[in-house]
């Protein structure tokens, strides 16, 4: 199959941008592979799930069907952490990432904070494998440890200066999920109690892991700010600050004690 033939097939299946990205990333273009990719595009599968790559905060992450693809909105959380801590070049910073997925949060933050180290937790065996692959690819194995566990349990993992999380926050049955997200693992998207269940667990258990004066940085869904604030304030947390994403939507909340 020629390059032009492959490009036309992919363009007709998923648009010109998808065709360009796939052609650029695949060095070889056997017919069966191009036809398979075109079929995936027609099903609405995101390009990242086809080529197993997604750029996030300047890093190229491996991703697959077992993990949530890193999204630009989540870069807001990275920016929020770095805004406060990037000038800190002396004190060691320990970071805990709850529900790490691809490891995009903890890896992106620590890649930009030379004095930081951390742990990422995920209950999915397959997500843990993906995160470990990314941590190794970025040369961060000495700084980041990935653990398979449920953060609903009372883990003995020490105390941290920062807790970050992009937990599942979509209510089961929500019809507003975009087509691409339908190909992400449901475990990374949906949470009980109208999308609030993970926040309730984090608010309850985080005192076990946060140092005095430490902070929690959370990604939230659209219009969830008041509900998440209520959950944390009820558990004795103080709301500190919020950050909007590039679309002007409140995306990150910060809490402390």
pLDDT of 252 above 70 = yes
Mean pLDDT of the 215-221 span: 97
- Supply the pLDDT for residue 105: 98
Closest CA to 140 of 169, 110, 160: 110
Strand partners for 93 = 116
pTM above 0.95, yes or no: no
- Supply the pLDDT for residue 173: 81
pLDDT of 69 above 90 = yes
What does residue 161 show for φ and ψ, rounded to 5 degrees?
A: -80, -30
pLDDT cut 90: percent of the chain above it = 81
pLDDT of 129 above 80 = yes
Exposure string (b/e) for 91-121, b if CB count within 10 Å is 16 or more? eebbbbbbbbbbbbbbbbbbbbbeebbbbbb
- Supply the pLDDT for residue 95: 98
Domains of the chain as residue ranges with CATH: 3-43 (no CATH), 56-60+67-256 (3.40.50.150)
Angle at 167 between CA 116 and CA 14, to 5 degrees: 105
- Please tell me what DSSP assigns to residue 38: H
Q: Would you say 16 and 25 are in contact if contact means Cβ atoms under 8 Å apart?
A: no
- Supply the pLDDT for residue 104: 98
List, for residues 10-68, the tens digit of each pLDDT value.
Answer: 999 999 999 999 999 888 888 899 999 999 999 999 999 999 999 999 999 999 999 99
List, for residues 76-107, the tens digit of each pLDDT value.
Answer: 999 999 998 877 666 899 999 999 999 999 99
> Which of 59-63, 88-92, 150-154, 201-205 shows the lowest per-residue confidence on average (mean pLDDT)?
88-92
Quickly state the pLDDT bin for 153 (edges 50, 70, 90). Answer: confident
| Distance in angstroms (rounded) separating the CA atoms of residues 116 and 110 | 6
Mean pLDDT of the 164-190 span: 86
pLDDT of 9 above 90 = yes
- Supply the pLDDT for residue 86: 78
> In sequence order, what are the residues at sequence separation of 6 or more whose Cβ sits closer than 8 angstroms to the Cβ of residue 133?
62
Longest dimension (CA), the chain: 63
Mean pLDDT of the 124-133 span: 97
- Supply the pLDDT for residue 175: 73
| Distance in angstroms (rounded) separating the CA atoms of residues 85 and 256 | 15
pLDDT cut 70: percent of the chain above it = 99
């Amino acid at each position: 199959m020629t390059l032009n033939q492959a490009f036309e097939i992919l363009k007709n299946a998923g648009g010109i941008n998808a065709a360009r990205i796939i052609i650029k990333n695949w060095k070889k273009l056997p017919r069966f592979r191009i036809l398979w990719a075109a079929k995936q595009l027609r099903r609405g599968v995101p390009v990242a799930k086809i080529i197993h790559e997604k750029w996030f905060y300047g890093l190229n992450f491996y991703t697959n069907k077992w993990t949530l693809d890193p999204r630009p909105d989540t870069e807001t959380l990275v920016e929020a952490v770095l805004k406060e801590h990037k000038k800190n070049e002396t004190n060691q910073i320990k970071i805990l990432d709850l529900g790490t997925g691809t490891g995009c949060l903890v890896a992106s933050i620590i890649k930009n904070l030379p004095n930081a180290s951390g742990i990422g937790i995920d209950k999915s065996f397959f997500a843990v494998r993906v995160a470990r692959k990314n941590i190794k690819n970025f040369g961060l194995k000495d700084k980041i440890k990935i653990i398979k566990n449920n953060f609903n349990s009372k883990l003995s993992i020490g105390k941290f200066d920062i807790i970050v999380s992009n937990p599942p926050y979509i209510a089961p049955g929500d019809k507003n999920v975009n087509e691409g997200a339908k190909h992400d693992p449901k475990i990374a998207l949906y949470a009980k109690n109208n999308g609030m269940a993970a926040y309730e667990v984090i608010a309850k258990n985080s005192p076990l892991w946060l140092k005095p004066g430490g902070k929690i940085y959370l990604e939230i869904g659209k219009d969830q700010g008041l509900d998440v604030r209520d959950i944390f304030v009820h558990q004795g947390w103080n709301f500190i600050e919020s950050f909007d994403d590039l679309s002007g939507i409140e995306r990150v909340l910060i809490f402390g004690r």
